[in-house]
Structure 1
Amino acid sequence: MATFTQNYGLHQWVPEDQFLRTDFNEDFQKIDAAIKAAENKATSGDEQVSTAVQAAQSTADRALAGLEPLSYNVYNLLLQNYYDGKSTQYKKSLLFDGFQDKSGIASMTGIVWDAARPSLLLDAVGQQQDSVAFGVDFTYMMQKNSQVGLDWTATGNGILTKVESYIQGSGTLVILQDKQELYSTPIAQGQLKGIATATVNVTVTAGVTYRIELRSGDTQIAVSVRNSEYNFGARLSFTPKTLTSGSMTTTGVAPGMTAQRAVAWVRHLNGTASLSLQTGGSWTSMSRTGTRTTVNLDGESCTESTFTLNRSLSGNLALQFSFSTSLGKSVRVFDYGVVLL
């Protein structure tokens, strides 16, 4: 349940409170009336100008302070609508992204967009050995001049170095991405239910799906898999690729307003976050004002880092997020929101 500020009765919420959009209207009416009253006092006489200006500034400061928690709740509400596929329209004083696609990303260094789990990933673990339908529980004959295969999505970064499969016969192993061939090599093995090994060299990126195919030639191939739900099985080995720092720069936007302050929230798992804001063609570091343990909109535990910047902001704006971590602790970035005040 909301509490209220002492002077003007503005709503105060904690994260678990439910709130209505009409609550914002009540607060904004109070803020508007208070600022207008202060302006009227400032014009009532020269002897009252100084006092009225100070009162107006104090009122404005309190209004901005009251807007921060309101803006945070609006950010969460719009982000939930965004995740649900609802229209959020364009909010000129609020920038946010939940990384459901890459449309808001201008560039990434070290960090990758994980399409399989829409978010940003700084991979400090690397891709580990993985198996799909690798076994000998079911064996069938693959016909001449045909192909079978499986789709596999990388959970980390690395280099695929070896593909193993239970086959008897000879064929061609082909690795593809988006139907484009990345690698092709012969593969053969003479014993029934024996393991055929192909040495390969394919760079894989977290969140990207690859197709691994076995193609027969003029002879049949006996293929063994873990169960009959699959027509091809494989064990994949990698050289992991790890990184402990990375950055992402957003696409530029023109909010169409001049602000005097920016407040930002970033929700991430592991690591330390830094944030810079570009305005007028130059970058300025935002001050980290706090971190707390919270949950993202999917209910997963994470860290929320808060940043502020006090300066005039106008024209085209962009953000640059930087993250650092230690080996073995990958960073996953869920979302961010920036309010301009």
Structure 2
Amino acid sequence: AKQYLIALSFGIIPLFIYTVLRNFIDALGQTRTSMLITILGLPVNVALNYVLIFGKLGFPHLGGVGSGYATAVTYWCILIVSIVIIHKKEPFSNFNLFKRFHRISFSTWKEILKIGLPIGFSVFFETSIFSAVTLFMSSYNTITIASHQAAINFASFLYMIPLSISMALTIVVGFEAGAKRHQDARSYSRIGVTIAVGMAFVCAGLLFTLRESVASLYTKDAEVLALTSHFLIYAIFFQLSDALQAPIQGALRGYKDVNVTFLMSLVSYWVIGLPLGIVLAKYTDLQAFGYWIGLIAGLAAGATGLAYRLIKIQKKQLLEENKSSRTA
């Protein structure tokens, strides 16, 4: 594990730079370009894993450590491809990003970090809660752990739908809010949330109907299959809450309203969700399902708070817009 992390560390710098460049590309609405770059990295990573793990084509046999080097080299590849595209392809080339380097501006750093750090902590609180729940789940038997992991994996897969809408809303709401077209920003927010919730209900119906088929994708063991099917019922409510909170969170980021989102992530997951899950799991007959109910409750509380915050901001901006139009 140590040698794997050392190998992987050679790719950390290109990963960080690529992440910034990818968001620059996305902010211009060219998300298809980001997708193609990421897809390009997949066969490169697969090929490098094959030759470095198993020692093929004259390369050394590195075992699991080879996967670390393969990933690091892949990060360098996608960074180089991104730089070439941004340098040569419109509309990115119009910004002359690499033509000259500017002086360090600490005031600009401060402005970026004031927006970026709260977003980063929000993501951290959201992702780390699942690791924490997995650790608590380790006190149960292997069947329960396996069933939980299978169900949470599929729930994470479904989460990609509201997450993609959330990221799109950050771009379009930010674009419209920056241009002072507040009514359009409000319309995009409503459309995004409506699409996410509508698709969540469709997925919920399909998941409830096909939950046994979904569970069978992960296991053939009868006990694990039955328990995974049960967990997937809770996953339905899980993704319904996600469908509401994720797009709203994305819209708020478009308004640069990130501090309240950060606090609500902390409260909903770590103050409401996890403690409630622990209480339900340890002091009721719900056992492992208690953690899921806690997470669902935390998500629902966060979604409610974020919805209230979004409505408040949009009302404030519309009032300011009406006031300025009357003055003009």
Q: What TM-score, normalized by structure 2, do the two folds share?
A: 0.18
Larger helix proportion of the pair: 2
Which structure has the greater CA radius of gyration?
1
| Structure with higher RCO (Cα < 8 A, 6+ apart) | 1
Q: What TM-score, normalized by structure 1, do the two folds share?
A: 0.18
